[in-house]
Amino acid sequence: MAFKIPLSFPEYSDSESRYLQQAVKSGQLTTNGAFINKFENKLSKKLRTHQAVVLNSGTSALHLALVLLGVGQGDEVICQSFTFCASANPVVYLGATPIFVDSEEETWNISPEILEDAILSRIAMGKKPKAIICVHLFGMPAKMQEIMEISEKYQIPVIEDAAEAVGSKFNGSYCGTFGKVGIFSFNGNKIITSGGGGALISGDAALIEKSKYLSTQAREDLPYYQHLEIGYNYRMTNMAAAVGLAQLERLEEMVTKRQWVNERYKELMVSLPGITFQENNHSSESNFWLTSILIDEETTGFSNDRLRVLLLKNGIETRFLWKPLHLQPIYRQAPFYGGNISESLFSKGLCLPSSVSLTFEDQEWIVGLIEKEFRKVL
Ligand SMILES: *Cc1c(COP(=O)(O)O)cnc(C)c1O
């Protein structure tokens, strides 16, 4: 079904098609070409302390990150439970086990306290986790200061899944630049897109070199094909990089516009009782990729699902928050630390349409429909 108002729709200018044409004309369509280098350089320059390798998805970036940190058969990796399945699936690709950790209420991301409990518990059981995957959900930075303190205390590297948080900042620095490795996604519905794609970022130049090598089938620099390691076909194509570069040039604009969308929702809904927002704290600056709300049914008289259906009938797409991975059938067997925070957020939450192209009138209409639902209840 085509929505009148989709959840998150990409926005293109003239540059995307211009760069794409240049890429095609250059004859370099695959994993060699000027746009790949330009995209990486532009990204690295923006991040300042970190270098980037562009890949064919955020999921492959996570997979490579785990490979680079030496995760293998039988290992354990701690992962935020409240996230998309792609945060944890690569752990399973490698024959390792994800250990899920609950969220805290302020940012909706991994709880530093429960993270430390989980680490201590696994160590007591004789197995020190090989890595910690934290996520910046819907663009909202996780509590990176506490998380990095724990990472240093126990000497366990952090992988930041910043798939949804390109352009978000924590204490003035970009999300993705705190952990040993960070990853971004440029999938079609993310804040900027290359059609499909991702990036692995790190402050460690050796890891960056190794990523380039592993993502292109681990080919030795010889006149014939010789392989000393198992590699992957994970590099971004020059065509995708052409689109990605054009989008990256407008990242600030995209972030600002999504932040406006979030501000306007908050203003329009300020007087609606029982509806709260995922909000920044003093150290975080979310890109507000998706504006997300919680509905307290006892106050509103209606559930998140009732609102979803009501808006759907009007051609407006919304989405539940991610269903916590410890509640997913595929991860029933995986250990979980925590209580019911992420479960409760999931049961109350809804992501609202948040495209850059959303107009004020669109938002007034959406909020008007929500208000009507209140009147029915009252
Ligand atoms: C989108 C997403 C990914 C995966 O990125 P792809 O580019 O789609 O492979 C990973 N983690 C999170 C949290 C995501 O939202």
Cα 276 to Cα 74, 105, 210, 340: the distances in Å are 41, 12, 44, 18
Residue with token string 């004859």: 27
**CB–CB of 242/35 below 8 Å?**
yes
Q: Does 355 score more than 70 pLDDT?
A: yes
Homologous superfamily assigned to 252-377: Aspartate Aminotransferase, domain 1 (3.90.1150.10)
pLDDT digits (tens, 9 = 90+) for 308-346: 999 999 999 999 999 999 999 999 999 999 999 999 999
CA 185 / ligand 1 centre spacing (Å): 6
Q: Which fold has domain 14-250?
A: Aspartate Aminotransferase; domain 2 (3.40.640)
* Pocket probe mutation, ligand 1, options 7, 8, 84, max atoms within 8 Å of Cβ: 84
Other CB atoms within 10 Å distance of the CB of residue 113 = 15
Q: Where in the chain is the domain with CATH 3.40.640.10?
A: 14-250
Nearest protein CA to atom 5 of ligand 1, as residue: 58
Residue with token string 């492959």: 60
| pTM score, whole prediction | 0.97
Q: Where in the chain is the domain with CATH 3.90.1150.10?
A: 252-377
> Cβ(300) to ligand 1 under 6 A?
no
pLDDT digits (tens, 9 = 90+) for 209-228: 999 999 999 999 899 999 99
pLDDT digits (tens, 9 = 90+) for 264-321: 999 999 999 999 999 999 999 999 999 999 999 999 999 999 999 999 999 999 999 9
Other CB atoms within 10 Å distance of the CB of residue 6 = 17
Q: Which amino acid is at 293?
A: I
Distance between CA atoms of residues 25 and 12, nearest Å = 20
